[in-house]
Amino acid sequence: MTDTSAARTLEEAVPLGLIPTVFQPRLEALSSAKSWMGWAGYQSAVVIENMEFEYFAIRNQSTLFDVSPMHKYRIQGPDAEAMLNRMMTRDVRKIRPGRVGYTLWCDEEGMVIDDGTLFRFGPDDFRLCCQERMLGWVLDAAWGFDVQVTDESDTISGLSLQGPTSFSILKDAGLDAAAALKPFDLAEIEPGLWISRTGFTGDLGYELWMKNADGLALWDRLWDAARDWGLKAIGFEALNLARIEAGFIAAQVDFQPIHSTLRLGRGRTPLELGFERLVDFEKDHFNGRRALLQQRQKGLRTHLVKIELGGFKPSNGALLYHRKTKEVGHVTSGAWSPTTKRNIALAELKAPYGGQVQDDLWAEIYVHEEGQWDRRLVPVTVQTSPFFSHPRARATPPRPF
Amino acid sequence: MGQHDTFDAIIAGSGHNGLTTACYLARAGLRVLVVEKNDWIGGAAVSRSLHDGWTYSNCSYVCSLLRREIIRDLELPRFGLQVIPYEGGATFTREGDYFAYYSDHDALNRELARQNPRDVDAYERFSQAVMRQCRFIRPFLLRTAPDPTSLKPRDLSELLYLVKKANDLGARELGETQRFWTMSIADFLDEHFESDLVKAHIAGGGIIGTGLGVYSPGTAYVLLHHYMGDVDGTIGAWGFARGGMGSITQALAASFESSGGTIVTGSGIDQFLTKGGKVTGVALENGDVYHASVVASNMDVRRTFINHTAESDLPSEFVTAVKRFKTRGSSGKINVSLDRFPTFPAAPDGARFLSGDMHCSTSLQELEKAYDDWKVGRWSQEPYFDMLIPTQIDPTMAPPGKHMMTVFVQYAPYDLEVDGVRSPDNWNETQRQAFATCVFDKMEQACPGIRDHILHAEVRSPYELEQEVGLTEGNIFQGELTFDQLLFNRPVPGYAQYRTPIGGMYLVGSSTHPGGGVMGAPGANAAREILRDVGKGQAMPVYTD
Amino acid sequence: MSNTTQNFDAVIIGGGHNGLTAATTLARKGHSVCVLERSSVLGGMMSVGGAEAPSFTSRLAHLLYNLNPKVERELGLRLNARNLTTVSLAPNGEHVEIDGGKARMMDGALHPKAVAFATLQTRLQRFATLLSRLSLRTPPKLSGSWTDPETFGELMGLAGIGLGLKGMGKVEMREFLRALLTNVHDLMVDDLDDGPLAGAMAADAVRGSFSGPKAPGTLFSLLYRLGNGANLRAPVGGMASAVAAFEDAAARAGCVIKRQSAVRSVLVQGDRVHGVELDDGTVIHAKAVLSSIGPQATINLAGIQHFDVEIARRAKNLRAKGTAGKLNLLLKARPEFSGLPAPLHQARLLIAPSSDYVEHAFNPVKYGSFSEAPTLEILLPNAHTPETPQTLSAVVGYMPHDPPGGWTDALRTKAEQQIMAVLEAYAPGIGDRVQHSELLTPTDIQTETGAAGGHWHHGEMGIDQILNVRPINGMAHYQCGVEGLYLCGASAHPGGDINGAPGRNSALQALKDGAL
């Protein structure tokens, strides 16, 4: 079908399909399940060996999850703080250098574009990490400010080291300076290696950030140090279970990032997601502020809440009812929590349910086992405190296990 | 000597809309006749073999807009229709580079980043905007347009439906929708993208078949018109009908005949016959006469009423309005038999993106200049073309190892200017060859030496299109898709619901809402109106959003 | 004057006619108002600008035809202007005089299409009058439910227009809905055949726009210009006297007007304005700030951090590429246009001999270039008094605002030569009578008036940038987001020309919002 007269060696101008991160050789070698998915165009593990054992490693020993595909944007310059403060709902001035803040940002109608973590390296030096592609938005938000924006997504690698023995591994790897890190602290532990006490598991853990070229060396160093402490490479499924226990929301699951929704009315505001504490109406204007003020006055449409359910069957996709008859919401992320031995979920309810009205709520769970569908109607109670909370996650200096 | 037969309904013209109407009427139990001037059926959805061994989609060439509902209602797959989505596409530059429109989303992102890092996000934002517009407009396609001057309950309720849909958008989205529908595609692209090449690749869809330039207001809508189709639910996807576009009309014809319908070919309409303000039948050029109390014309509104209806049968304002309806031809078509696959030096070996739509226009300015050339009656010196080689995935159109290429060109004038005189009569073999030369010269940008592989080429200007297919001035949409000719203005205000001033006579082609492209929607909507009028409204399926 | 503070209810940024209108409207309702003009002359595009002698009294704008009569009345404007007829010049001498709906040849005979033209004009005027009802209202927001009082009011307003539409009868209503968004070329040529008559209408539709007559939406531009009856007037004493009338009305109402007072920033606290700071450090406190300088400049003065990202992006994308230039000539004697009787030298003269000509004049500007056959709208202000110094005032279409390499001296010379060549063809000998000439390009107009792109309307009046999306979606109701900050110039609804509605409407909106 093509010209064979000349040797054709032209390759595609860009790689097709998924591409590997720097850690893929290690993950490939460790993976027996060969279960991969695409994350920002990168190959990412769903399960390495066995999801259950990977999960328990998070809560018992230590785990490594490759977060390199995360989108990362460096924002530097004299106006960096002002620019970010106009973009974010929280007061960025309160995130001091050497700290990391969890933050949300909205469009002009107050709908959440994405959530992410804002790392502050210095007074005028930040990095934003988030799930959704964000370069266009950050550049638009930067216009008119004296800042420089660099897309570090493909040049900075990241590893998430999470679990009760995670500090012990760092210590044995010669990174014991991390002992001083309180939750959400950030420091350059070694030249070119930044460590933040952050993570997606709600447990003791750290995220390590480095240039691509330094990735494999660090991986090997951590594995060598982990001999006494137990370390497993994990995939997303195990991590997802842990983050539900921690009560953390996930984009595309618990809310729809407004810039990727096609249907109208699917966006959610930070207030509707339960993040009033991260919206600072006292500071100067930020994107969506006026719309959020209006919503605060008129009332929310929905409430995203933590719930506990009866029974033992995981509730993903379940519909929620008031008084067993009126459909008032659905489960967005549900799971049986192995650590807390409770049936838990994040759920979206139509206001006032989940807000002013919290009683007499039920979930209709469809269970499919061995070719048969069963329906279970179980009671639901709204929770205010976290499902999983352990002091080891906050202890400074951290405990060895 | 002349045939004198009576039917319940006669459809003039076997284009895809006429056949669609015919099918629905036949299924409702009417005795239906379709008359066609050519020896073959299909109008502009035809596959013909003009060079032994090769089949061309002579006019229309890709399928997306054909409504799923119609395909299912008329059981077209049972009668042989198969549409295969194609992937990829590219625009080739003079410098030996390209922008490839990969169907693989991750590859596309990287390719966009290669053009300009900002354009990855720009494309997301652009896609979201266009998809939202598609979702907004799709429910309106299979609904009859409301008459805003009428107080009839049905019109009021349709108007209310429109208003409610618009209101549901909310103020911000309504503003964005308003802007999108009134903007030029170039301005819309300038608001999103940085790369001129990416903009030019996308902008072509805004001028296909249209006598407007990329910077003319309303061309963003034309782009929408080309995105709002789907292949099996993937909105915006395009595909090849296996065996060429003629397989669509062949399937329609087969479905029609299996419902008891009759098709007569070889002689066109001479006159629509009327008595006392009502239609009574048709008289063909060969002397045959057929009678029916329902007659539907698949021809465009001007050809129907100016060429084949007595002016005395029509109100004078109607005639004025019909004469004012713009059907400016702006497109050429070249169908090519190739003895082997062309060489694309810029493309990687076995590049899959070559199986999609390919172009060589690399900037918005170039596209706008192409339009300026047409305005003064010349074909574009640097034409835009939509070029595909379907035989990469459709094995039915050429012998094994050989290929068929379809090239749709913008712009070519109907009334060609030669020595200061503008006239369609100026189109002769010399001019056609000169036009083809201009196109192939440009094509060298992508596949140099293409001419060495050409075994046969069919070159058509708007004039040939008019002569063969009957599209007035060669306008492929049976009328421009500008605001003054859309929705309740299409084809003329007051007659935008398929009915005409003559009782029992209807229009069912692309001159009616929702317009052109191989959609079938005008034909289906018209069938619904006809069946209502003859008391068989229940026979028409009801479509919900 | 530095570091002193003053207090007003409202501060107006920009002393053009809209700024003065906004100021007068507020002052007449009893509020203290201060107008701040950065140059030494008032009037914006109506002004004589910063020219050196000889000064042309209609240096930029030279005609009134779209002044809103309600604005004129409410302000108590004391305008002295004479009515003009129009002559569309033909290269072969068969000029057409156009007076309202009448079209006559030079010998007095009716134009061959006079009847069709009269019918068309009547219809267009009817449509334009109906649409003009929208001019004196803030565009509808329709953001609430139907029972929300503000939304209900908006719907009633629209219903009124709907009823007006139905009142026209089915045929006219259908034509309105068809023609509203069509292009002026097809509309004219369908009914009139192409020639000086169609050319004049086409030219009037697109003057100042970045579009030719074949572009969809250009009929709307014409309807906008007919919206106030298209009463063509030339102020006695030039446009400068009209500016004086606006200033007089403002002063009588009690407005304080400061010239050479450039605003450095708009002061914002707690998402609300509280005044402005001038270049020299003076702070002027005010409860409301109305800005006539366009959205981008206004955003810059207030600080981009007070605006949503989407707003900033839209303001950046606002299309404002000016296409109108101005040629002012001082002549030794009045020019003689071939085939034009002496009295008609006092008319508005158009060189737009066909709609195709106008389209042809437009094409090059898309590529940053200038046609060798531009359109011209010509006034000879002193034609009726040949003993006084003779001038020629011509609006030139189309000149690129940003030609590649910029408006160099060489390019200016070339452009001027091309224009003079056209004039020479219609008025032989004019070249020899030129004592002094001045060519203002859109870039010059931008420099002098601050209008983005030197654009006639401060922002393209395309159908995607009008009404509830003018100047941009989210800033289309005079309100800017920051409380007390308003847009009051041509970039706001309804648009440009010497009109006054934006100024008036924005002032009324500010009052309605309780900003003062």
Residue C279: which CATH number?
3.50.50.60
Q: How confident is the model at residue B237 (pLDDT cuts 50, 70, 90)?
A: confident
Chain B: nearest CA to A11, how far in angstroms? Answer: 5
**pLDDT in the model for residue A336:** 97
Q: How confident is the model at residue C1 (pLDDT cuts 50, 70, 90)?
A: very low
Q: Are residues C277 and C298 in the same domain?
A: yes
**pLDDT in the model for residue A5:** 43
- Residue A386 host element (H or E): none
**pLDDT in the model for residue A10:** 73
Q: How confident is the model at residue B11 (pLDDT cuts 50, 70, 90)?
A: very high
Residues A38, C477: Cα–Cα separation, whole Å:
45
Interchain CB contact of C306 with A (< 8 Å): yes
Burial of B283: CB neighbours in 10 Å, binned 0-12, 13-18, 19+: middle
Q: Are residues C371 and C503 in the same domain?
A: no
CA A117 from chain centre, in angstroms, equals 9
Mean pLDDT taken over chain C: 93
Q: Look at the alpha carbons of A93, A98, A101, A105 in this order and tell me if their dihedral is positive or negative.
A: positive
For residue B327, pLDDT beyond 60: yes
Residue C162 lies in a domain: yes
Q: What is the pLDDT of residues B239-270, one digit of tens each?
A: 899 999 999 999 999 999 999 999 999 999 99
For residue C54, pLDDT beyond 70: no
Q: Are residues C217 and C339 in the same domain?
A: yes
Q: What is the pLDDT of residues B288-319, one digit of tens each?
A: 999 999 999 999 999 999 999 999 999 999 99
Q: How confident is the model at residue B2 (pLDDT cuts 50, 70, 90)?
A: low
Q: Are residues C136 and C279 in the same domain?
A: no
Q: Are residues C85 and C52 in the same domain?
A: no
Token couple for C90? 């033909």
Report the range of poorest mean pLDDT among A189-203, B168-182, C269-283. Answer: B168-182
**pLDDT in the model for residue C484:** 98
**pLDDT in the model for residue C241:** 93
Q: In 3-state terms, chain A is what percent helix, strand and coil (to 5)?
A: 25, 35, 40
**pLDDT in the model for residue C144:** 66
Residues B404, B397: Cα–Cα separation, whole Å:
7
**pLDDT in the model for residue B1:** 40
For residue C456, how many C-alpha atoms fall within 13 Å in the half-sphere facing its CB?
A: 27
Nearest-CB residue to B121 (from A12, A15, A136): A136
Burial of B2: CB neighbours in 10 Å, binned 0-12, 13-18, 19+: exposed
Q: Are residues C91 and C210 in the same domain?
A: yes
Q: How confident is the model at residue B141 (pLDDT cuts 50, 70, 90)?
A: confident
Residue of chain B whose Cα is closest to the Cα of C366: B365
Nearest-CB residue to B110 (from A14, A262, A263): A14
**pLDDT in the model for residue B161:** 87
Q: How confident is the model at residue C153 (pLDDT cuts 50, 70, 90)?
A: confident
Closest Cα to residue C179, out of C463, C449, C471?
A: C463
Q: Residues C400, C404, C410, CA angle at the centre, nearest 5°? A: 80
Residue of chain A whose Cα is closest to the Cα of C316: A143
Q: Which of C440, C467, C490 delimits the end of a domain?
A: C440
Residues A327, A361: Cα–Cα separation, whole Å:
10
> Is residue B481 within 8 Å of B221, Cβ to Cβ?
yes
Closest Cα to residue B302, out of B480, B456, B180?
A: B480
Nearest-CB residue to B493 (from C177, C211, C359): C177
**pLDDT in the model for residue A4:** 46
**pLDDT in the model for residue A3:** 45
Cis omega (within 30 of 0) on the bond before C428? no
Q: What is the pLDDT of residues A81-95, one digit of tens each?
A: 999 999 999 999 999
What residue ranges do the domains of chain A occupy? 5-70+154-246, 71-151, 301-386
Touching subunits of C (3+ CB pairs, under 8 Å) are A, B
User: Which one has a higher pLDDT value, C498 or B227?
Assistant: C498
**pLDDT in the model for residue A9:** 59
CB contact under 8 A, C174 and B170: no
Residue C446 lies in a domain: no
For residue B528, pLDDT beyond 90: yes
> Is residue B446 within 8 Å of B358, Cβ to Cβ?
yes
Residue C206 lies in a domain: yes
Q: Are residues C333 and C411 in the same domain?
A: yes
Residue of B114, B133, B349 to mutate for A, most A C-beta atoms under 10 A: B349
**pLDDT in the model for residue A7:** 46
For residue A6, pLDDT beyond 50: no
Residue C223 lies in a domain: yes
Q: Look at the alpha carbons of C504, C508, C509, C514 in this order and tell me if their dihedral is positive or negative.
A: positive
CB contact under 8 A, C463 and B324: no
**pLDDT in the model for residue B516:** 87
3-state secondary structure of C86: strand
Domains A71-151 and A301-386 alike in fold: no
Q: Are residues C102 and C215 in the same domain?
A: yes
Residue C450 lies in a domain: no
Task: Indicate the fold that domain A5-70+154-246 takes in CATH.
Answer: Gyrase A; domain 2 (3.30.1360)
CB contact under 8 A, A135 and B120: yes
Q: What is the pLDDT of residues C61-92, one digit of tens each?
A: 999 999 999 999 999 999 999 999 999 999 99
C254 is in which domain, residue-wise? 5-79+239-319+455-512
CATH number of A301-386: 2.40.30.110
Give the type of residue at A393.
A
Chain C: nearest CA to B493, how far in angstroms? Answer: 6
Buried b (16+ CB within 10 A) or exposed e, B318-330: bbebbebbbbbbb
Q: Are residues C91 and C195 in the same domain?
A: yes
| Average of per-residue pLDDT across B396-422 | 97
Is beta strand C256-258 parallel, antiparallel or unpaired with respect to C33-36?
parallel
**pLDDT in the model for residue C384:** 82
Give the type of residue at C456.
W
Report the range of poorest mean pLDDT among A294-308, B115-129, B164-178, C117-131. Answer: B164-178
CA C515 from chain centre, in angstroms, equals 28
Burial of B72: CB neighbours in 10 Å, binned 0-12, 13-18, 19+: exposed
DSSP 8-state code for residue B261: -
| Average of per-residue pLDDT across A343-349 | 98
Q: Look at the alpha carbons of C453, C455, C457, C459 in this order and tell me if their dihedral is positive or negative.
A: negative
Q: What is the pLDDT of residues A32-81, one digit of tens each?
A: 999 999 999 999 999 999 999 999 999 999 999 999 999 999 999 999 99
CB contact under 8 A, B401 and A3: no
Q: Are residues C276 and C363 in the same domain?
A: no
- Residue B273 host element (H or E): strand B269-275
Q: Are residues C94 and C173 in the same domain?
A: yes
Q: Are residues C343 and C435 in the same domain?
A: yes
Closest Cα to residue A200, out of A231, A169, A252, A160?
A: A160
3-state secondary structure of B416: strand
Nearest-CB residue to A109 (from B114, B125, B172): B172
CB contact under 8 A, C481 and A143: no
Q: What is the pLDDT of residues C86-142, one digit of tens each?
A: 999 999 999 999 998 999 999 999 999 999 999 999 999 999 999 999 999 999 887
| Average of per-residue pLDDT across C451-463 | 95
> Is residue C17 within 8 Å of C44, Cβ to Cβ?
yes
Query: pTM here?
Result: 0.95
- Please tell me the total count of domains within chain C: 2
Residue C96 lies in a domain: yes
> Is residue C284 within 8 Å of C295, Cβ to Cβ?
no
Closest Cα to residue B44, out of B365, B430, B329, B342?
A: B329
- For residue C160, the cross-strand partners are none
Residue C93 lies in a domain: yes
Nearest-CB residue to A133 (from B120, B169, B347): B120
- Residue B179 host element (H or E): helix B170-182
Q: How confident is the model at residue C184 (pLDDT cuts 50, 70, 90)?
A: very high
Chain A: nearest CA to C13, how far in angstroms? Answer: 21
**pLDDT in the model for residue A1:** 42
Residue of chain C whose Cα is closest to the Cα of B493: C174
**pLDDT in the model for residue B225:** 86
| Average of per-residue pLDDT across A216-242 | 97
| Average of per-residue pLDDT across C329-336 | 94
What is chain B's alpha carbon radius of gyration, rounded to the nearest angstrom?
23
The CATH code of the domain that includes C341 is 3.90.660
For residue A347, pLDDT beyond 90: yes
Q: In this prediction, what percent of chain C has a pLDDT beyond 90?
A: 86
Q: What is the pLDDT of residues A103-140, one digit of tens each?
A: 999 999 999 999 999 999 999 999 999 999 999 999 99
Task: Indicate the fold that domain A71-151 takes in CATH.
Answer: Alpha-Beta Plaits (3.30.70)
Residue C151 lies in a domain: yes
**pLDDT in the model for residue A12:** 82
> Is residue C503 within 8 Å of C250, Cβ to Cβ?
no
